[in-house]
Amino acid sequence: MIDLKLLRADPESMRDTLVRRYVDFDLDAFLALDERHRMMKSQIDEKKHEQSQASDRDSARALKEEIRTLEEAYKTLSDEHTRLWKELPNFLDPDTPMGPDEESNEVIRTVGEPRVFDFAIKDHEEIGVARGWIDKEAAAKVSGSRFAYLYGELVMLQRALSNYVFDILTSREALRAIIDHAGIDASDAPFIPVNPPIIVNQETLDKMGRLHPTEQRYMLHDQGQVLIGSAEHSLGPIPMDRIFEESELPLRYVAETPAFRGEAGTYGKDMRGILRMHQFDKIEMEIFSAPEDAEQEHALCIAIQEHVTASLGIPYRLVRNASGDAGSMDYRQYDIEVWLPWQQKYRETHTADYMTDYQARRLGIRVRRQTGEKQYVHMVDATAVSQRPLIAILENYQNEDMTVSVPEVLVPYLGKEVM
């Protein structure tokens, strides 16, 4: 949630944010509700003070009843206030390009040249089916559409990619090299590997700001729980209601989990292969930072994403998400898009989100400064790697005989140069 003090002091910034995000929200009505909410709270406090000063029992009893009535009304008003407060999106970085969707994203840089093939290229599904690595037909019978069985060398390639990424994220030396290369002012504190739950309470996911839209979630209604759509959904709440000391930050987590997505509204889109699935594996980075260090932490996540993608030898581009494409909680969002030869286009594989204190305010996560002041931490989450780079490897490294060369950095992990 946004800082209400900032909203009250400068409502025009939020008005501009709503316009840029293409969000229909009655800000004037909320501000009026917010004022009533504050006035009623003040009225209750005044009545409680009068009650404490009442000199006779009848007056105290009358005030008690009046307070009870006010508090009931205040509870109703407060629930509506909180509901609408949660609907307000985060402020946007002023540098965010204006536009309604991903077509308006700004390309920051393009790295690598697409390979020129001297044979008819195939998409990853044709390769995967021919080699016995991908079976969507069996998965459709067992689970439904947008599921797949992965087999053999493709599974081992995914394990190799995961081990490679974990080795980077848990190594001070590797992180220091990335930090120095990118010119980032950040510590080389390693990421802590976590094996988190893949089921979270609906209340917790709502605090994370990730419960809605519920049609994108796999809801376990009888239990009031949800299957996570990303490891961040169970990493972010770990320190709920905690107060960090400055020396404990930044705190960096990394986890590999299955991710479950409803993919509502994508009927008929990306049905070939394993690009858009209801279930896939993903490694996610989650960072809790002091406010003044958070932009560098976000930059570090992007540098890690670029390092991994470039080291795999896959052409990619870094894009800054447009105002209508950025998540509602994101102050700033960047994507990595890799080149897929068969589609002849760049497709998103990584996202890096910087939420400022918007998410931490919902979760109650703060840091105690040396002055004794308590501030909400700033939070960053970002993709380390998902299944989508497997698609890029199959297509960019394919050979005419449907074998696939292995990216050099993964050869030591896979134990072979061609699969």
Q: Are residues 79 and 109 in the same domain?
A: no
Q: Are residues 82 and 112 in the same domain?
A: no
What is the rounded distance in angstroms from the CA atom of residue 61 to the CA atom of residue 70?
14
Q: Are residues 73 and 116 in the same domain?
A: no
Q: Are residues 141 and 70 in the same domain?
A: no
Q: Are residues 70 and 111 in the same domain?
A: no
How many domains does the chain fold into? 2
Q: Are residues 257 and 399 in the same domain?
A: yes
Q: Are residues 204 and 146 in the same domain?
A: yes
Q: Residue 97's pLDDT is what?
A: 97
Last residue of a domain, one of 63, 87, 111: 87
Q: Are 353 and 305 in contact (CB under 8 A)?
A: no
**Can you give the pTM of this predicted structure?**
0.94
Q: Is residue 96 part of a domain?
A: no
Polymer length in residues for the chain: 419
Q: Is residue 93 part of a domain?
A: no
Q: Are residues 110 and 33 in the same domain?
A: no
Q: Measured between alpha carbons, how far is residue 49 from residues 39, 40, 52 in Å?
A: 15, 14, 5
Give every CB contact of residue 45 below 8 A, 6+ residues apart in sequence: none
* Per-residue pLDDT tens digits of the chain, which is 419 residues long: 999 999 999 999 999 999 999 999 999 999 999 999 999 999 999 989 888 888 888 888 889 899 999 999 999 999 999 999 999 999 999 999 999 999 999 999 999 999 999 999 999 999 999 999 999 999 999 999 999 999 999 999 999 999 999 999 999 999 999 999 999 999 999 999 999 999 999 999 999 999 888 888 999 988 899 999 999 999 999 999 999 999 999 999 999 999 999 876 666 777 888 999 999 999 999 999 999 999 999 999 999 999 999 999 999 999 999 999 999 999 999 999 999 999 999 999 999 999 999 999 999 999 999 999 999 999 999 999 999 999 999 999 999 999 999 999 999 999 999 99
Q: Residue 267's pLDDT is what?
A: 67
Last residue of a domain, one of 44, 63, 87: 87
What is the rounded distance in angstroms from the CA atom of residue 74 to the CA atom of residue 71?
5
Q: Is residue 419 part of a domain?
A: no
Q: Residue 265's pLDDT is what?
A: 60
Buried b (16+ CB within 10 A) or exposed e, 201-230: bbebbebbbbbeeeebbbbeeeeebbbbbb
Question: Which of 328, 329, 297, 333 has the alpha carbon at shortest distance from 318?
Answer: 333
Q: What is the CATH number of the domain that holds 393?
A: 3.30.930.10
Q: Is residue 303 part of a domain?
A: yes
Q: What is the domain extent for residue 14?
A: 4-87
What is the rounded distance in angstroms from the CA atom of residue 127 to the CA atom of residue 273?
10
Last residue of a domain, one of 60, 87, 114: 87
Q: Are 294 and 380 in contact (CB under 8 A)?
A: yes
Q: Is residue 95 part of a domain?
A: no
Q: Residue 229's pLDDT is what?
A: 95
Q: Is residue 97 part of a domain?
A: no
